[in-house]
Amino acid sequence: MKTKKIIYGILLLIPLCLPQVIDNQYYIQGVFCRIIIYAMLVASLDLIVGYIGDVSIGHAGFFAIGAYTVGILTATQDLNSDSTMSWFPHLSFFSALPIGILLTAIAGFVLGFPALRLSGPYLAVVTIAYGMLIYTFINEQEAFTNGTKGISLEPLQVFGIKCSGSNFLYVVYPFLVLVMFVVRNLTKSYWGRAFEAIKYSEVAASMCGISKSYYKIWAFVISAGIAGLAGGFFSQLDAYVAPNTFSYNFSVEFLIALIVGGVQSILGNILGASVMVIFPDLFSNFNDYRLIIFGLSLLMVLFFMPKGLAGFVNLVKKRFATKQDSHHAEALSKKAAEVVLFDYTNAKENHTAVQITDLTMRFGGLVAVNELNMSIKKGTVHGLIGPNGSGKSTTVNLLTGIYAPAGGAVSLFGQSIAGQSTYKRAKLGIARTFQNLQLFSDMTALQNVMVGMHNSFQANLAAVCFNLPNAQREEKRAEARAFAWLQFVGLQESAFTEAKNLSYGQARLLEIARALASNPALLLLDEPAAGLTAGEIEKINVLIRKIKDSGVSVLLIEHHMDMVMAVSDEVTVLDFGKKIAEGTPAQIQNNPAVITAYLGTHETSFH
Amino acid sequence: MEQFIQLLIGGIAQGMIYALVAFGYNITFSTSRSFNFSHGNFLMLGGVVGLILYINNQIPFLAMVLAVVLVGLLMGLILYKTSIEPSLKSKSNYAWILATLAFGIILKNMVEVFWSTDDFRFDSPLGNAPIRVMDVGVLPQEILIIVVALCIVVAVESFKKYTIFGKAIVAVSEDKNTASLMGINQQFVILFSFLLSSVIACLAGILVAPITMVGATMGTVLGVKAYAVSIIGGLESGYGVLLGGLIIGLSEAFTARYISTGYKDAPGFLILILVLLFLPSGIFGKTVIKKV
């Protein structure tokens, strides 16, 4: 481990030697520094496109805000004597840079709001509009920006030392390392997992206690901030900024660079930026055909290398990864042995777990749940059955706050939870599984469970970004605990398998593990046995009993009657949104109303 | 007052061009959840082919229109085969955006290399003399644009509503899988929607050519604005593009006249953002409750 770190450290220093080796200012500043600055911008775009899963075609706008803020604040009258600019604050570069970052972050904050409600092409067009508005503003506010003619800047000097030309590398490169370090830490932490969870399933993420608004807006703020930083440096790259650089096409090019390099990969970000800078040079002999070649290569990459150039490198890496994984699993299982799974911070004294009073839900004219009254006793398994469309899943969605009820009240351990949003209910101790699996498909089983533990993470954003010891410790503890949850449901062998590659039965178990990982007082199982074989169902039965014995209250929705009758302490039967019966499994089996309404009048297979 | 009416008609004509291009986005989005991000470049191709045939080679107007339709069909087919079909298979959220962007980059560059990078005038077959009614001068081309755009939108919407194949398109938009179970060839419907959308874009190219110039870059900004129009009206609505087009077209015309030409795009984009903040699927879009 130590030697690996030293090797990485030395590798990181190599680029700083370049000016000694290559004595050509064009290559160092024009090519190499440009790649560095573009790589930062691509990394910022990756946070949105790769992690949050939204397409942004407006990052040139953020870049422009950073570049222009630094440009305006540092410009001198001498170089812009015939300009329309009237305001020259004459700040130094490094005092202007934080202001640029701050302004860009604010712009990102503003863009975050539409991003909460919009996705896909709807959000993409907003990012375009946003970029275009910034572009128009820069073009037209001639008193500040000198309009289309742009702003000329003095060559960069820091404490009287010349930092332009090849020396510029010494200024920007450390910032690239810093940005990549922060992005890497962030994306590998519970923050990054929250971003990705939102991408794959907003509902499941909120059921893990993740506030979509909070994380999405932060993602836009951080991404914009990094773009602003890159923009600030860009103003010094040519010591000149002009609006034409920051057009719609520029945003498109960065999006292309990101995809060609490969999303969710620092290496991919750097490769993408390099391609973007070097490509025009490489094909300078075919200058006319350059864009044709570019377009064709893009199509090739898209369809033959969906993970981009970095995908190739990762394929090679994966060869070695399987061995690493097994070591890792071994270490984790040792630590997991010391984990106490069910701890009782969430146990509430002597209260009914859930009290539902006159709960009603309408979809248009359809009354899906009609004045339902029901209570789940603490530490019991409560079955909820009924024919298709009788309102079972709607009840679960009402309990978890996914739907807002038309009337009625729900209280959890004596506390009303009316009006609470889903992620807050998760914090109060409700967890659920989904009838239609809602796993975070590209994340491993272990990571899925760690998303479930979201609320247990305490480290703040700064600690996460700089990977401070408390964040590291917390992450390691969480990993061991997540592994223990996988052991609990019997999935430890698949800890490093991506959720999308699990078998159907395993996926169902993983859903349960993820739900339990949030340390719930109430677990809602929405058809956990749907599509499973008899053997697999038996496993789930055993699990449910274990969960109950640990003191967690369970609401079980199922169509497998054998299962419901075997594990439930009490059963409620719904039909057309109304409760038609309630009682012990034995009472339900003999209830004539249930038999006619739900089971039919002919012989059925109750045992 | 005369100037006001003149601006109004100019704005409406511009808006109808946007609406027509936007309509192309809607047609394919409803069937395939994707559209051609380089739609503007298809419009450009229509304009360029029209110019070469009609102005440079003096081919009869109708023959030129027919040729442009054929070019649209051909390009739609190539686009579908090289960009759309593989993207839809790849299950990626953004593959279609990038694939169609790449296609557009290639197309634009080819026009620049094999034809020209300059802009050319395209004289309207209806002449350049404004028709004067009570001191208000209106270009005949503007009237043609408004009429043709409305006709195309109404024709396609009626086709979807009243013919059996049109209903198949609606069925695929509503629910792909169920439509497939009903024996509808989903791939063919998607292909058809792309052909239709490409043809409309190419036709829009000849329509708009007399009031702009014809050149390789004529479509880029138009395509982006039409995208905004399409979203304002609602990507999944048919007639919504007409309202969206009017909003953007008129706001542009009036801002350019009364505020500044530099800011003419700003109000449209601001309206877009505002509309989406309150109506996330556009003015006529449907909001569906997500099932869990």
Share of chain A above pLDDT 70, in %: 96
| Maximal C-alpha separation, chain A | 97
In whole angstroms, give the CA distance from residue B123 to residue A591. 84
**Residue A598 — pLDDT band, cuts 50, 70, 90?**
low
pLDDT digits 0-9 by tens, A241-278: 999 999 998 999 999 999 999 999 999 999 999 998 98
In whole angstroms, give the CA distance from residue A586 to residue B103. 66
Looking at residue B148, what is its pLDDT? 95
**Residue A343 — pLDDT band, cuts 50, 70, 90?**
low
Looking at residue A607, what is its pLDDT? 46
- Reading the block at residue A583, the tokens are 């009682």
Residues 5-64, chain B, touching A (beta carbon < 8 A) = 29, 35
Is A264 a domain residue?
A: no
Looking at residue A80, what is its pLDDT? 86
In whole angstroms, give the CA distance from residue A212 to residue A422. 10
Is A117 a domain residue?
A: yes
Looking at residue B289, what is its pLDDT? 55
In whole angstroms, give the CA distance from residue A136 to residue A143. 14
Beta carbons within 8 Å of B106's beta carbon, 6+ residues apart? A291, A292, A295, A296
Of the two residues A44 and B172, the one the predictor is more confident about is: A44
Query: How are beta strands A570-575 and A381-385 bridged, if at all?
Result: parallel
ipTM of predicted complex: 0.92
The length of chain B in residues reads: 292
Q: Alpha-carbon Rg of chain A, whole angstroms?
A: 29
Question: What's the CATH number where A434 sits?
Answer: 3.40.50.300
Shared domain for A40 and A188, answered yes or no, is yes
**Is there a contact between A522 and A412 (Cβ–Cβ < 8 Å)?**
yes
In whole angstroms, give the CA distance from residue A128 to residue A59. 9
Asked if the C-beta of B270 comes within 8 angstroms of chain A's C-beta atoms, the answer is: yes
Of A114, A133, A292, which has the smallest distance from its Cβ to B110's Cβ? Answer: A292
Looking at residue B244, what is its pLDDT? 95
**Residue holding tokens 């593989």?**
B86
Mean pLDDT of B190-203: 96
Residue of B nearest to A200 (CA): B93
Q: Which of A199, A214, A247 is the last residue of a domain?
A: A247
Is A126 a domain residue?
A: yes
For A370, how many CA atoms within 13 A lie in the half-sphere containing its CB?
14
* Angle, alpha carbons A352-A356-A361 (nearest 5°): 160
**Is there a contact between B228 and A125 (Cβ–Cβ < 8 Å)?**
yes
Residue to test with chain A: of B87, B105, B275, most A Cβ within 10 A: B105
- Reading the block at residue A445, the tokens are 């089983």
**Is there a contact between A577 and A391 (Cβ–Cβ < 8 Å)?**
yes
Q: Do A49 and B94 touch (CB under 8 A)?
A: yes
Looking at residue B292, what is its pLDDT? 55
Beta carbons within 8 Å of A208's beta carbon, 6+ residues apart? A197, A423, A426, A451, A452, A454, A455, A514, A518
In whole angstroms, give the CA distance from residue A486 to residue A453. 13
**Is there a contact between A401 and A376 (Cβ–Cβ < 8 Å)?**
no
Q: Alpha-carbon Rg of chain B, whole angstroms?
A: 19
Residue A600 has pLDDT above 70, yes or no: no
Mean pLDDT of B128-138: 81
Q: Do B277 and A113 touch (CB under 8 A)?
A: yes
pLDDT digits 0-9 by tens, A504-535: 999 999 999 999 999 999 999 999 998 899 99
In whole angstroms, give the CA distance from residue A62 to residue A41. 9
* Angle, alpha carbons B89-A261-A2 (nearest 5°): 125
Looking at residue B131, what is its pLDDT? 84
Q: Counting Cβ atoms within 10 Å, is residue B212 exposed (0-12), middle (13-18) or buried (19+)?
A: middle
In whole angstroms, give the CA distance from residue B235 to residue B240. 8
Residues 221-260, chain A, touching B (beta carbon < 8 A) = 248-249, 252, 255-256, 259
Residue A25 has pLDDT above 50, yes or no: yes
In whole angstroms, give the CA distance from residue B23 to residue B157. 10
Amino acid, single-letter form, for residue A344: Y
Asked if the C-beta of A288 comes within 8 angstroms of chain B's C-beta atoms, the answer is: yes
Residue A347 has pLDDT above 60, yes or no: no
Is A573 a domain residue?
A: yes
Q: Do A125 and B228 touch (CB under 8 A)?
A: yes
pLDDT digits 0-9 by tens, A199-251: 999 999 999 999 999 999 999 999 999 999 999 999 999 999 999 999 998 99
Beta bridge partners of A416: A411
pLDDT digits 0-9 by tens, B146-175: 999 999 999 999 999 999 999 988 888 888
Residues 118-177, chain B, touching A (beta carbon < 8 A) = none
Asked if the C-beta of A438 comes within 8 angstroms of chain B's C-beta atoms, the answer is: yes
pLDDT digits 0-9 by tens, A58-68: 999 999 999 99
Residue A131 has pLDDT above 90, yes or no: yes
Residues 176-235, chain B, touching A (beta carbon < 8 A) = 220-221, 224, 227-228, 231, 235
Shared domain for A32 and A179, answered yes or no, is yes
DSSP 3-state of A556 = strand
Using a CB-CB cut-off of 8 Å, the residues of chain A touching B262 are 136, 139-140
In whole angstroms, give the CA distance from residue B255 to residue B14. 14
Looking at residue B1, what is its pLDDT? 76
Using a CB-CB cut-off of 8 Å, the residues of chain A touching B288 are none
Q: How many CB atoms lie within 10 A of CB A370?
A: 19
In whole angstroms, give the CA distance from residue A44 to residue A63. 10
Mean pLDDT of B266-288: 87
Beta carbons within 8 Å of A92's beta carbon, 6+ residues apart? A74
Residue A39 has pLDDT above 50, yes or no: yes
**Residue holding tokens 């008899």?**
A534
pTM: 0.92
Residue of B nearest to A299 (CA): B99
**Residue B253 — pLDDT band, cuts 50, 70, 90?**
very high
Q: Which of A221, A247, A273 is the last residue of a domain?
A: A247
DSSP letter for each residue of A145-211: H-GGG-EE-PPPEETTEE-SGGGHHHHHHHHHHHHHHHHHHHHHSHHHHHHHHHHH-HHHHHHTT--
- Structurally, chain A folds into a number of domains equal to 2
Q: Do A49 and B99 touch (CB under 8 A)?
A: no
Residue of A nearest to B102 (CA): A295
Is A532 a domain residue?
A: yes
Looking at residue A35, what is its pLDDT? 96
pLDDT digits 0-9 by tens, A142-199: 888 998 899 999 888 888 888 888 889 999 999 999 999 999 999 999 999 999 999 9
* Angle, alpha carbons A334-A468-A220 (nearest 5°): 110
Residue A349 has pLDDT above 70, yes or no: no
In whole angstroms, give the CA distance from residue A33 to residue A158. 17
Strand ranges inside B103-177, DSSP E:
131-133, 136-138
Instruction: Report the candidate in A271, A276, A304 with the shortest Cα–Cα distance to residue A290.
Output: A276
Query: How are beta strands A151-152 and A240-241 bridged, if at all?
Result: antiparallel
Residue B272 has pLDDT above 70, yes or no: yes
| Phi, psi for residue A362 in degrees, rounded to 5 | -120, 140
Question: Domain of A524?
Answer: 379-396+429-439+502-599
In whole angstroms, give the CA distance from residue A281 to residue A283. 5
Residue B97 has pLDDT above 50, yes or no: yes
Residue A180 CA to chain centroid, in angstroms? 18
First to last CA, chain A: 58
Using a CB-CB cut-off of 8 Å, the residues of chain A touching B90 are 302-303, 306
Of A203, A255, A298, which has the smallest distance from its Cβ to B292's Cβ? Answer: A203
Beta carbons within 8 Å of A251's beta carbon, 6+ residues apart? A56, A57, A58, A59, A60, A61, A127, A128, A131
Reduce the secondary structure of A392-450 to three states and give it as a string. Answer: HHHHHHHHCCCCCCCEEEEEECCEECCCCCHHHHHHHCEEECCCCCCCCCCCEHHHHHH
In whole angstroms, give the CA distance from residue B206 to residue B215. 12
In whole angstroms, give the CA distance from residue A529 to residue A383. 13
Mean pLDDT of B90-115: 90
Q: Counting Cβ atoms within 10 Å, is residue B289 exposed (0-12), middle (13-18) or buried (19+)?
A: exposed
Residues A380-399 as b or e (16 or more Cβ within 10 Å = b): ebbbbbbeeebbbbbbbbbb
**Residue holding tokens 């014809």?**
B214
Is A468 a domain residue?
A: no
Rounded to the nearest integer, the mean pLDDT of chain A is 90
Looking at residue B290, what is its pLDDT? 55
Q: Which of A227, A247, A267 is the last residue of a domain?
A: A247
In whole angstroms, give the CA distance from residue A49 to residue B98. 13
Amino acid, single-letter form, for residue A585: P
Residue B200 CA to chain centroid, in angstroms? 7
Asked if the C-beta of A278 comes within 8 angstroms of chain B's C-beta atoms, the answer is: no
Using a CB-CB cut-off of 8 Å, the residues of chain B touching A438 are 292
Name the helix (H) or strand (E) containing A162. Answer: strand A161-162
In whole angstroms, give the CA distance from residue A477 to residue A332. 10
